[in-house]
Structure 1
């Protein structure tokens, strides 16, 4: 394949991904139509998605891969500097994080997507797929396998009350991820629509960390 053809293929894939971010955020991952994505990407071939991504799911995975890559990159930086100071060096890896620090790191990393229009759209898409993390089975989604993102999610387990049964531990972690994703997606949608927020970003994110931590720490239900 020539350099020109490779460049053209890359450009077309990027156009389709950008269009998919917009359509999936607006119409939903199930409601978004491939024909609308192809048209929005300026492609004349109706099979463009199949040609470049193999399927609708392949295109959706490509959108989510960008979200996971950005989150993982930000998390890597946050983990290394979360405890760094003049007297206490930065932690290398997630092992040095306690559970609440892990919650905070995950919220701040995903919140980085609020800073761009594409990021806000990806947050809207990601919230629809938060149940696919793999935490319910403790088997990470392929996109999360071996990532800092997955390791941080696992560290959130430390916030849970002692003695909580394993099924409830998994369910609470899944609920926590759903809360984070839903809250960030709602803020993203409001930003995309030009709606004024009730609070500034700093207060909103601090509140989201506190609420998520409280959910995880809640007293277990009576047997």
Structure 2
């Protein structure tokens, strides 16, 4: 077997992890299966290159973020501070991962990690810190602030909206990977996801709650 460099081995392990974690789950997938699929003889290859399962997952998500940030950044720079426009930017960037099997697998992985974004605590996950994604989240929250939504509801709704978008994308990705026929074509799916997510964020605040400012 030809020897490979450290970067080449890391990339093989990342690609293998994408397949295993998409099929078996981030927490259910076995690292030994990742190592075997990557063609590595050393059973500790993941620990050697990434330190832990979490380090490998972060590496998978960092690559996924690099791809989608490249799509998101110019869209965000041109977007007005209008909630449907900002949600359109989010959905458009996420949907770019539907173009390839690799992206589809990563969508299935990232939906399992949606609550680790750090939105609720305003402390970004390391893979999101300083990225256009985090800037987008801040702009969406600012729009909700301008609409008069109290902070607890703003943060919970934004976290829920990200979960909804992630789950919808992951389900679409699953259908593509399985060769299933979706109920709607992709343009309708994306337009409806924008409308649904915007409606969720703009739902009237609960009436008669004295604990909300």
Deviation at 1:127, TM superposition (A): 0.2
Give yes or no for contact 2:118–2:125 (8 Å, CA) kept in 1. yes
Q: What is the correspondence of 1:209-220 to structure 2 with a 5 Å cutoff?
A: 209-220=194-205
Give the C-alpha shift of residue 160 in structure 1. Answer: 6.3
Match of 1:62 among 59, 62, 68: 59
Residues 161-211 of structure 1: CA deviation (Å, up to 9, x unaligned) = 833221111000000000000000000011111111111111110000000
Determine the C-alpha separation between the residues in 2 that align with 1:209 and 1:159: 16
Which consecutive aligned stretches of 4+ in structure 1 deviate over 3 angstroms post-superposition? 159-163
Match of 2:174 in 1: 189
Assess, with a 3 A threshold, how the Cα gap between structure 1 residues 159 and 167 changes in structure 2: closer, same or farther: closer
Is 21-30 or 149-158 further displaced after alignment?
149-158
Determine whether 1:53 maps to 2:50. Answer: yes
Map residues 20-39 of structure 1 onto 2, 5 A cutoff: 20-39=17-36
Q: Does 1:168 align with 2:183?
A: no
Residues 28-85 of structure 1: per-residue CA shift (max 9 Å, x gap)? 1110100000011111110010111111111000000011111211111222454xxx
TM-score between both structures, scaled by the size of structure 2:
0.92
CA drift at 1:142? 1.5
Q: Deviations over 1:125-165 (max 9, x none)?
A: 00000111111011211211111111111222214683322
For 2:145 and 2:19, the matched residues in 1 are separated by 36
Query: 1:27 Cα deviation (Å)?
Result: 0.6
Does the CA contact (< 8 Å) of 1:49 and 1:59 recur in 2? yes
CA RMSD, aligned part only?
1.7
Question: What is aligned with 2:192?
Answer: 207
Residues 1-223 of structure 1: pairs in structure 2 closer than 5 A: 8-82=5-79, 96-157=80-141, 158-159=143-144, 162-222=147-207, 223=209
CA distance in 2, matches of 1:62, 1:142: 11
> Partners of 1:167 and 1:79 in 2: how far apart?
25
SS in 1 for 2:8: helix
Give unpaired runs (5+ residues) of structure 2.
none
Give TM-score, length-normalised by structure 1.
Answer: 0.88
Query: Quick one: distance in 1 between partners of 2:196 and 2:82?
Result: 17
Aligned residues: 206
Matched residues in 1 for 2:77 and 2:129: separation? Answer: 20
Rate the CA distance shift 1:21–1:203 in 2: closer, same or farther, 3 A: same
CA gap 1:97/1:162 in 2 versus in 1, 3 angstroms: closer
